[in-house]
Structure 1
Amino acid sequence: MSGEHENEPVESPRAAVTAQEDGRLLVRVRLPEQDRPPRLLLQRRPGKGKPEEPGRLLPLEPDGPGRWRAVLEPEPALEEGRWDAYVVDAPDGERVPLLPGLRDLRALTSGGGAPDVRAAAGPVAVRIPYATKDGRLAVRAWHRTPHAEAGRFTLSGDTLTVAARLYGARLGEGAEASFRRRGRNPAEVRVPLRATDDREFAFTVDYGDLVPETGAAGAAGDAAVWDVYVHPAAGAPRIRTARLLDDLADRKQVFVYPAARLGDWTARPYYTLDNDLSVEVTRSRPGE
């Protein structure tokens, strides 16, 4: 920002965000009077080793003395990733990071904030405002077509049952869930789906089928991670299973599920940093 005190440290402004039922995000920012109309910049973090791409600029309109507002419309959807929020006074101006204020995300808890989802036929486009680990405002975005939304888990003995719903596709003959092992020795375990209609379904996996053979998982053969997918019909491309349609940007540390013991191994479902569903199988350490 310009002015006679431009060389003094800039205090980061704070923004309140409201998720609306129609999928819009309403952002309200407290700012002093500006020499030029301020703008809200959403900048997607680049992948490792990749250059930064142009961000999304939104005008901030006056909303009372020292108050400004911007609206992020549902379309065009944000590309999948994490978008940091800034205030700038020009497209190439200094970026002043926004701090998180009140976040009203009640519309997201019922699957709102993604208007195309209600029809279950279009893409899933989700944006969840959140506070980063260093205390800044960011938006986590997903944009998937099709999508398999994980629901309730049932843990019973050595089995895991997952209820789920399909978006952007319909179930057909030969529908299956697949568990694909990461690493140098990939493998796949498939189980049938039990459908209640052409979108709602459940599947059950026996953890014993996911225990790696000696030396298969890694150098010490002491762990394996299985990513969960759905094949909506025989021969159909796989669809990643995830939990996206609520107000949690990062589920991994929030939802911790109990592990099942299988001899020298333990198995538990978990959500990745991208809120995708996976199963971790690890060898128990001596004394456990």
Structure 2
Amino acid sequence: MTRTQQPVGDQIRWWRGHRRMTQLDLANRAEVSTRHVSFLETGRARPTRAMLLRLGEHLDIPLRDRNAMLLAAGFAPAFPEHTLTDMPMAVVSDAIRTLLAAHAPMPALVVDRHWNLVDANDTVALLTAGADARLLEPPANVLRLSLHPDGMAPRITDLAQWRAHVLHRLDRQIEATGDDELRRLRVELAGYPGGVDTTEPGPSLVVPLRVRVGDHDLSFVSTTTVFGTPLDVAVSELAIETFFPADAVTSEYLATGT
């Protein structure tokens, strides 16, 4: 039985523990008694829909998992889930297409909660050129693509440092979401060759992605954009990764192709 299939009390208790909160901590935030929190977790009290939404907010539970708690308690989900082609998502889809197009000639892509590629602009092909076609088949996982020995890894010139950055970022995401599929992905990625990062902390403010493209060594820094205050499950799980040149050589190459 997965966590989202467990009784609602078990789910509340799991998330409270995952957030390293005591029953008193959660009771104070939700403005209820510790006794009530205890009764909810043990099943001695049945939570109302409003109470579950309140606990979900204070425990910072992902929208998908809040819906699972509601279903476990016999309530309908509170947060819809649409695909990008659904009519209600037209504004979101348009925003994504506009951002991807506007970012060219710099690479930009959209990923879901498991780092599967949702969309990208044409420049992303610059980074993925030479990767095994199997890694590019939908749903292509961009983290697997970057660290797999048949993917981008042979062309990443700072592979050990980039690998450490990716795994650390994935650790933070697992801590925030408790997602078992991300845990499995992390184990897989950690098993790929890539060496150990022995870089001493220096003046650099961010970890760049340095990748060989033809005869050029290009260097990028990336930013992540998410939608503010999402009320749709799918929207809450989308992230837009935009890459910017980290040096003059990369800027010139993106501008002229040489």
The answer to which structure has the higher helix fraction is 2
Relative contact order, CA 8 A, sep 6+: which one is greater? 2
Q: Normalising by the residue count of structure 1, what TM-score does the alignment of the two structures yield? A: 0.22
Q: Normalising by the residue count of structure 2, what TM-score does the alignment of the two structures yield? A: 0.24
Which structure: larger Rg? 1
The answer to which structure has the higher strand fraction is 1
